[in-house]
Amino acid sequence: MPLYKSLDLNSQTIVKIWKISESKEFFMNQIVLKPESLKRVNGMKSKLHQLGFLSVRMLLSEFGYTDEDLVYDSFGKPHLKDGKHISITHSYNFSAVVVSSKEVGVDIEKQREIITKIATKFIGFESLYLKENDPELIQKLTWIWCVKESLYKLYATPGMVFKKHFLVVPFGKESNNTAAWIIHNNNRLKFKAIFMEFEGFGCAIVGPNF
């Protein structure tokens, strides 16, 4: 299908989301991959991973970029050759790319009950305001995970622990944004996090300001 959603968070930050309904053959006919990308996608055993990888390249073209414009550093963080910042995510049948003049991170996750069983692995400070009997607990946990995953992508530093180094300030369902912190060594860095929800998925974008 065509582009699912495009949002201008400000004049320097744009997020584009794709809902994947196409085949691998469709994408391969629409985009040109550099040799290492072609080898990588053909080596993926999961069809979902293949389609996620290819749909991200389709989103790049929506920004006016090609696969050649995208490079990865030793941490696996993506960069654009023109110096703009980029973050990438895909989950099941959705993918997203954010391009900004500033450091940025994005993550999409499907809302699933299993997140309540693994919450102790990534919830630290947030346990002070989360309640087990909250009917919106799965949604809130998913958003917190998305924020922390986005911070992880943005900071791109080995040894980061979601529970210890990332902090998400309390938020309510009526609000689509909150503050989030990275606390690491002598660094205390504050970011803004924006949430959105669509078709059972949660999504968060983090950056210094939007």
94-124 tens-digit pLDDT: 999 999 999 999 999 999 999 999 999 999 9
Domain limits for position 123:
107-207
Residues 20 and 94 in one domain: yes
Q: Under DSSP, is residue 72 helix (H, G, I), strand (E, B) or coil? A: strand
Show which of 81, 101, 121 is a domain's final residue. 101
Indicate if 152 and 77 belong to the same structural domain.
no
One domain for residues 89 and 120: no
pLDDT digits (tens, 9 = 90+) for 153-182: 999 999 999 999 999 999 876 778 999 999
Residue 80 belongs to domain with CATH number: 3.90.470.20
Q: What H or E segment, with its residue span, contains residue 43?
A: none
Residues 95 and 131 in one domain: no
Residue that is last in its domain, among 69, 101, 133? 101
pTM of the predicted model as reported, rounded to 2 decimal places: 0.95
Q: What is the DSSP string of 147-182?
A: HHHHHHHHH--TT--HHHHEEE----TT-SEEEEEE
Q: What is the pLDDT of residue 9?
A: 93
Q: What is the DSSP letter of 126?
A: G
Residue 58 phi, psi dihedral angles, 5° rounding: -65, -40
**What's the whole-number mean pLDDT along residues 87-91?**
97
* CA pair distance 22, 90, nearest whole angstrom: 15
Domain count along the chain? 2
Distance CA 78, CA 156 (A): 10
